[in-house]
Amino acid sequence: MSLSDGRRARALDRAVELGVPAGLAALTWLGLALAAGFLARLNDLSVLNLLPLFFVGLLFWPVYSAAPWRPGVAERARSWARRSRAELAVVAVLWLVPLAPLVPELVVSLLQLPYRGSGIFFGASLFYRQRLGPEAGRLLLAAAQAYIQLLWLFLLSKGLVAVGRRLR
């Protein structure tokens, strides 16, 4: 390994050490902001209104699993990424599939299924739009949709990879 390669590797290590906990913190805040905005838009405490709180709680799942409050989060994240290489590759492919021409509408609808579910955060995005400006609301909704879409595609890819392994 050359000296420059060694420097690059150290820089990458440093980026992971800082980036993983910072990314998890950003996700925590995104989840909290969505939860707060969601609660602020409730116009009654009916079961139907409170049911999505379970869904909101699921947004924190990656943070619970990574447990950034315990030491060694960067190492754990690195080891998880190594174990989930196949799933992450499938996520990247699935993310791009709807952009390709001639993909059946049914497949695109399935891949983009959670976008409808993310509609429950539209009210939250309006809550922030009224307070922080239209761009803030739009960004929050886009971030929520991208995050939910990522979780959905990861679930799908886990299933696809498991099926693929069984078939082999």
Partner 1 sequence: MTSGRAVYAATLAVLLVGSGLAVALAPAASGPAPAAAAGEYMTTADGTRYTVDPDRLRQGCPGGLDCIPSIDDPRFQSADEAGWLSPGDRLIGVEIDGQARAYPLRILNVHEVVNDRLAGRPIAVTYCPLCRSGFVFSRRVGGRTLTFGVSGKLLEANLVLYDRRTETYWSQLEGEAIVGPLVPTRLTVLPSTITTWEQWRATHPDTQVLSRDTGVYPRSTYGSNPYAGYANSSGVGFGVGPVDDRLEPKDLVYGVTVGGASVAYPERTLEPGDAVNDRVGGLPVLVVASPDDGGVRAFSREVGNETLRFEAGEGALVDQHGHRWSYAGVALEGPREGEQLDRLGAHGVYWFAWSRFHPDTGLYGTNETGKG
Residues that bind partner 1 (CB under 8 A): 17-18, 20-22, 24-26, 28-29, 32-33, 36, 38, 41-44, 46, 48-49, 51-52, 68-74, 98, 105, 108-109, 112, 115-116, 119-120, 122-123, 126, 128, 130-132, 138, 141
Q: Residue 3 CB, nearest distance to partner 1 (Å)?
A: 21
Q: Residue 46 CB, nearest distance to partner 1 (Å)?
A: 4
Number of helices (H), then strands (E), in the chain: 10, 0
The tokens describing 101, both together, are 């021409």
Q: Residue 19 CB, nearest distance to partner 1 (Å)?
A: 9
- The separation between CA 99 and the C-alpha centre of its own chain, rounded to angstroms, equals 19
Nearer to partner 1, 74 or 91 (CB): 74
Q: Residue 11 CB, nearest distance to partner 1 (Å)?
A: 14
Tell me how far CA of residue 45 lies from CA of 52, 58, 147, in angstroms.
12, 20, 27
Nearer to partner 1, 119 or 164 (CB): 119
Residue 161 is which amino acid?
A: V
Helix (H, G, I), strand (E, B) or coil at 129: helix
| 41 secondary structure, DSSP code | T
